[in-house]
Amino acid sequence: MDIEGRVVVVTGAASGIGRALCEAFGRAGARGVVAGDVNGEGAVRTASGLPDGLGVRCDVAVETDVVDLVRAAEESYGRVDIFCANAGIFELGGTEVPDAAWQRIWEVNVMSHVYAARAVLPSMLERREGYLVHTASAAGLLTQLGSAPYAVTKHAVVALAEWLSITHGDAGIRVSCLCPQGVWTAMTGATDPESREMTASTAGRDGMLEPEQVAEDVLAAVREERFLVLPHPVVATYEQRRAGDRERWLRGMRRLQASLASPPYGRPSTPGPGGTEVGS
């Protein structure tokens, strides 16, 4: 899909990958970019730096907020061509994580993608054209050491994106799924030197990327109408190993977990085979 002249909506847009996506789409000639974030002031700041931007407060876990975000885009620009469901959160721990925390991460990391598709698909299908970009993570293709909620929800995002592509691809709907490993965002300690050093030695074993690099990979995928976006190409190798010999991969992941300096439920510390990206 050509990006010039398109109308783009991005959630989790106040910082990190979301803000970088807004800026990249703006530079690429998008007719309008709508920045949505639960941090309304941050969304407005992102939008203010764009050639033609609109900032909207949006809690993606609330369906009416997502509907209102799409309505604001349509009222300002006439339609939505590309929707980037990018917001996400992280929750440390395993099955002992309280139900409320499981529910919250499910709402933000999964249901927000469902709400976005519900809001934009009818008009896209009517036009027989539209693009959905889902920010998942390498954790959605592999796993996330130290966080069952993150691993589970990111797997769900990948599954939803695949389903949407299969179900609506012949009706003109294009889908991309972003699955990076370590990206310098607030979650990975981008603004704290001590956190950056620890993250780089664990999650960054395959290289930490700046959000701007990831955003450019997304735009390239949209132009090529390519489903899988892997800013860390080595993730494809890990996924092939996992599929080719699951028992061996599981043993290797257990060894990797044991080798980490922090215990499994410490700070997000997954290197190559896991992934530690967030959307906002």
Q: Tens place of pLDDT for every residue, the chain, 280 residues?
A: 999 999 999 999 999 999 999 999 999 999 999 999 999 999 999 999 999 999 999 999 999 999 999 999 999 999 999 999 999 999 999 999 999 999 999 999 999 999 999 999 999 999 999 999 999 999 999 999 999 999 999 999 999 999 999 999 999 999 999 999 999 877 655 455 554 454 444 455 678 999 999 999 999 999 999 999 999 999 999 999 999 999 999 999 999 999 885 544 444 443 333 333 333 3
Name the catalytic one among 77, 150, 238, 265.
150
Q: Render the burial of 227-253: b for 16+ CB within 10 Å, e for the rest.
A: ebbbbbeebeebbeebeeeeeebeeeb
Q: Residue 271 falls within a domain, yes or no?
A: no
**What total number of domains does the chain contain?**
1
Q: Residue 249 falls within a domain, yes or no?
A: yes
Which residues are registered as beta bridge partners of 176?
133
CATH number of the domain that residue 127 is part of: 3.40.50.720
Expressed as residue numbers, the domain containing 197 is 7-259
Q: Residue 70 falls within a domain, yes or no?
A: yes
Q: Residue 51 falls within a domain, yes or no?
A: yes
150 labelled catalytic: yes
Give the pTM. 0.89
Q: Residue 85 falls within a domain, yes or no?
A: yes
Q: Residue 16 falls within a domain, yes or no?
A: yes
Q: Residue 268 falls within a domain, yes or no?
A: no
**How far is it, in rounded angstroms, from Cα 189 to Cα 210?**
12
Q: Residue 118 falls within a domain, yes or no?
A: yes
**How far is it, in rounded angstroms, from Cα 13 to Cα 135?**
12
Strands 173-178 vs 32-37: parallel, antiparallel or unpaired: unpaired
